[in-house]
Amino acid sequence: MIIWLASYPKSGNTLLRSILSAYFYSDEGNFGFNNLYKISQFPAIDHFLRLGVNVEDEKEVYKNFINAQNLINEERKAKFFKTHSRLCQMYGSNFTDLKNTLGVIYIVRDPRNVVTSFAHHYNLTIDQATEALFDEKRFMLKTNKNCGVSLGSWNSNYKSWKELEKKNKYLLVKYEDLVYKKKSTMLKIFKFLDNLGLKLSVDMVKLNKAIKSTDFDKMKNLEKKETFYEAVVDEKTGDRKVFFNLGPKNDWRVILDERNREKIEESFKEEMQELGYLKL
């Protein structure tokens, strides 16, 4: 069954995947891009080609989300999958169901920091990125590797996955805790996985190595030496944009203009207060 690593883009999904992949898919807990790729994204084009689905037909792809997940789960073992989709229906078809979903770890980040990272990643101005965060109909377009999904706005994406909390299949992880409280946050995640039935015995030595090897500066330096294939290609230059850009140094207090800050705080006031990003 699938354990979803779900998030709005640029919210820390790659960081969590990095730590998990270093722990579960390396011998000693050392991070590497090849291990990171073992936690892949859904929906990938390959998932639908195996079903004979025309991946150019968006409606047909959505109608076969559950069929694709059924095929993935034929192995009958827990698997991590990254997704930026909100938990919703499109064309009358569900993104997932309880038969295929073991649980979800939802990674959330202060939207005032999401917006600047989003702008860099997608070649947008801050104004454009801010409007994107508000767009309830926002859709992630198909790429050469992944099919499109309904992204929605920052807050609708966040709220949609909370539905699984009612089924005890939901864990919320704040990006900020993943950065500054890595060990305690990872132990919380392992406890959640254990409660889902994975029956983990945590190797603290390996976990400490996984945490140390996924330090932001180390991953940033690794990207300088090796190609990170998840980094987007800049349409203007043809070069891959730096993926590990600012990380913890992305501070809205320093780099976000007041006008867009106020718009974000006003639009997402309820959710930001709930998450502790704004004082009540």
- Please give the chain's pLDDT, 280 residues, in tens: 999 999 999 999 989 999 999 999 998 999 888 888 899 999 999 999 999 999 999 999 999 999 999 999 998 789 999 999 999 999 999 999 999 999 999 999 999 999 998 998 788 999 999 999 999 999 988 888 899 999 999 999 999 999 999 999 999 999 999 999 999 999 999 999 999 999 888 999 999 999 999 887 787 777 777 666 555 655 666 566 556 666 677 788 889 999 999 999 999 999 999 999 998 7
What pLDDT, on the 0 to 100 scale, is given for residue 279?
A: 87
Place of tokens 């006003």: 266
Q: Which two tokens stand for residue 35?
A: 């291990």
Angle at 254 between CA 218 and CA 248, to 5 degrees: 20
For residue 106, list its beta bridge partners: 6, 172
**152, 155, 161, 164 alpha-carbon torsion, rounded to 10°:** -140
Q: Which pLDDT belongs to residue 128?
A: 96
Half-sphere exposure of 219 (CA within 13 A, CB side): 29
Q: How far is the C-alpha of 70 from the C-alpha of 189, rounded, in Å?
A: 25
Mind listing the pLDDT tens digit for each residue in 98-135?
999 999 999 999 999 999 989 987 889 999 999 999 99
Q: Going by C-beta distance under 8 Å and a sequence separation of 6 or more, which residues neighbour residue 1?
A: 73, 78, 79, 100, 101, 102
pLDDT for res 246: 65
Q: Which residues, at least 6 apart from 187, have a Cβ–Cβ distance to it below 8 Å?
A: 202
Q: What pLDDT, on the 0 to 100 scale, is given for residue 228? A: 61
Model pTM above 0.95: no
Domains of the chain: 2-275 (3.40.50.300)
Closest CA to 33 of 177, 221, 237: 221
Tokens 């203009």 locate to: 257
